[in-house]
Amino acid sequence: MEKVFATKKDLEKFLTKEDALKVFATKQDLEDFRYEFKNEMRDKFGKSLALSDKILKKLETLLQEKKIGDWQTKRRRRPCRIMVETVRKGKFLSPKQYQKIKELDVL
pLDDT in tens, the chain (107 residues): 466 666 667 666 665 666 666 666 677 888 888 888 888 888 888 788 888 889 999 999 999 999 999 888 888 777 667 677 777 676 777 778 777 777 776 55
Residue 69 lies in a domain: yes
At 62, the amino acid letter reads L
Give the predicted TM-score (pTM) of the model: 0.39
Residue 5 lies in a domain: no
How far apart (Å, rounded) are the C-alpha atoms in residues 80 and 106? 9
State how far Cα 96 lies from the chain centre.
Answer: 48
Number of structural domains in the chain? 1
Residue 75 lies in a domain: yes
How far apart (Å, rounded) are the C-alpha atoms in residues 59 and 65? 10
Q: Domain of residue 67: give its range.
A: 11-104
Residue 47 lies in a domain: yes
